[in-house]
Amino acid sequence: MSSPVSTERAVPGRPGTATQALQPARRAVIFDLDGVLVDSFTVMYEAFAIAYKEVVGEGPAPFDEYRRHLGRYFPDIMRIMGLPLEMEEPFVRESYRLASQVPVFDGVVELLTTLRARGFRLAVATGKSGPRARSLLGGLGLLPFFEHVIGSDEVARPKPAPDIVELALDLMGFTPEQAVMVGDAPTDIASAHGAGVASAGALWALSEPDELLAAEPGVVLRHPTDLLAMCPPVPRD
């Protein structure tokens, strides 16, 4: 198992080490979905290309720019990129059609199984819509691991606002100090910071992690199971 990239990356105004940021009092982990639990980028690229061709027309779809905004709700990305909101319908349609081709990252099932065995309660807070996220996780056999799967359409303000992380905390009955958010995008880290939750940056899907690191996650991880070193068994009450 690989080691965290850095266990000393301090977030201003927050605990300065991984052992402080992810102390044993943690009882919950909130995960982003795409790029953290599942490797959806190939399917996402195909769905985006089809939607672009149907709505905009011929020519290369600007997927690289789209990917820079991942973590946000799809309609918000379209507004930022100046693309038609009508792209959402074919993008969602194709995403459902191709969902069976989305692989789970190596180490994720081991991570989730161990966290649950250690007494952690788990949730997903994703840029996807709630129904699409739950459908994808259900098809991959991961849905039973999570108490709650929350989509960007189910909060007033999606990431980078803190609303989705705060809702996960409220649903599980935890304070910010009892949870950690794992994400691969600056929007995930910003959402965690805004909610007062410790953050862990996931590097396993990133070829260029500079933007994620610039968001100053409290801890950065190379492999999903690296998180286990920072999540000892939850003390029995």
Pair of tokens at residue 179: 């949870």
Tabulate helix, strand, coil % of the chain (nearest 5): 45, 15, 40
Sheet holding 28-31, edge to edge: 148-150, 121-125, 28-31, 179-183, 198-202, 219-221
**pLDDT tops 80 at residue 148:** yes
With a CB cutoff of 8 Å and minimum separation 6, the contacts of 101 are 42, 43
Q: pLDDT tens digits, residue range 156-188? A: 999 999 999 999 999 999 999 999 999 999 999
Say what angle helices 88-97 and 74-81 make with each other, to 10 degrees. 130
Active site includes 170? no
The pLDDT of residue 180:
97
| Torsion sign over Cα 96, 183, 121, 109 | positive
The pLDDT of residue 220:
95
**pLDDT tops 80 at residue 4:** no
The pLDDT of residue 110:
98
Active site includes 34? yes
The C-alpha atoms of residue 127 and residue 80 are separated, in whole angstroms, by 15
pTM score of the predicted model: 0.86
**pLDDT tops 60 at residue 135:** yes
Q: What is the mean pLDDT of residues 10-20?
A: 37
CA end-to-end span of the chain:
31
pLDDT band at 12 (very low <50, low <70, confident <90, very high): very low
**pLDDT tops 90 at residue 141:** yes
pLDDT band at 18 (very low <50, low <70, confident <90, very high): very low
Count how many residues are written for the chain.
237
The pLDDT of residue 219:
96
Q: Which is more confident, 229 or 125? A: 125
Q: What is the mean pLDDT of residues 104-124?
A: 98
The C-alpha atoms of residue 220 and residue 3 are separated, in whole angstroms, by 10
Q: What is the mean pLDDT of residues 77-99?
A: 96
What is the SS3 assignment for 178? helix
Say what angle helices 186-195 and 163-172 make with each other, to 10 degrees. 60
| Torsion sign over Cα 24, 11, 189, 229 | negative
Q: Which is more confident, 160 or 7? A: 160
Q: pLDDT tens digits, residue range 40-54? A: 999 999 999 999 999
Q: What is the mean pLDDT of residues 215-236?
A: 94
The pLDDT of residue 35:
95
Q: In percent, how much of the chain has pLDDT > 70?
A: 89
The C-alpha atoms of residue 22 and residue 26 are separated, in whole angstroms, by 7
The pLDDT of residue 23:
52
**pLDDT tops 50 at residue 196:** yes
Q: Catalytic residue among 32, 184, 188, 226, which? A: 32
Q: pLDDT tens digits, residue range 55-72? A: 999 999 999 999 888 889
With a CB cutoff of 8 Å and minimum separation 6, the contacts of 10 are 16, 17, 218
